[in-house]
Amino acid sequence: MWFTLSRTEWAYLLYTRGVSYARFAKVQINGANGLLLFPDEFLWPNDNLAQPTALNDASADFTQINYTAAQFSELEEAGCVFLRANGYVEHNGHNPTHANQTYGYYWTRDFDGNQTHSYLYFDNSSISPNDNNATVHAGYALCIRLARRAE
């Protein structure tokens, strides 16, 4: 069954889960900024493929490394996931995109019952799974990243 992660699950994924290599790195893929998430058990797929130097570092910027689509395919086959910094679209339609390529916004499944939701946020110097209960109106168009339990 597919689902959207909660704030607590995003925090676990980014900060506390046990891993063999790293939890995440901020990178570019074909010039697109985002977070590269590593699986729990990870072996670097190719000795000729450059490795990020800033691992698990929320304050790192996206420009430390720029992978091609072919290079990312190797990482993806090894279990990596890329969360692109896509910005968001406001619900009032006055600002069709906000900070595309600068900020990443992904909905969590946490809902306060008052048309507001929590979200994962990241930019060039920080990452926040919104443990501070910051919310955004449900009418905003943020990205969704679906997950499922490992089998």
Grouped pLDDT means (10 residues each) for the chain, 151 residues: 91 94 96 96 94 95 95 97 87 62 85 74 88 63 83 73
Compute the distance between CA of residue 42 and CA of residue 26 in angstroms, rounded to an integer: 17
Compute the distance between CA of residue 132 and CA of residue 149 in angstroms, rounded to an integer: 26
pLDDT at residue 65, rounded to an integer:
95
Give the global pTM. 0.88
